[in-house]
Amino acid sequence: MKFYRNVRIEEIAEQRLHEFERKLERPLSLPIDIERFGDLVLDLSMLWEEIDELPGEEILAGNPVLPNG
């Protein structure tokens, strides 16, 4: 497992925010659209879908089941 110093984490965060700003073609302002950030900068896609939970269970995220994967 790789560990980062706080200074390095801040540098990476700043780089990612600058990248987001470039892709939006405008200065950033609050609030930051985290879904759009994930899509444009981190190449993540999010699907908001109800997931059945068992009693006492709380599912916070899931991985999609991909065909042939």
Q: Write out pLDDT tens, residues 6-49.
A: 999 999 999 999 999 999 999 999 999 999 999 999 998 877 77
Using CA atoms, how far apart are residues 6 and 2, in angstroms rounded to an integer? 13
pLDDT at site 24 = 96
| Domain spans of the chain, in order of start | 6-40
| Region 51-64 average pLDDT | 81
pTM (2 d.p.): 0.65
Asked, as a colleague might, if the bond just before 31 is cis with ω within 30 of 0, I would say yes
- Determine the distance from the C-alpha atom of residue 36 to the mean position of all C-alpha atoms in its chain, rounded to a whole number: 9
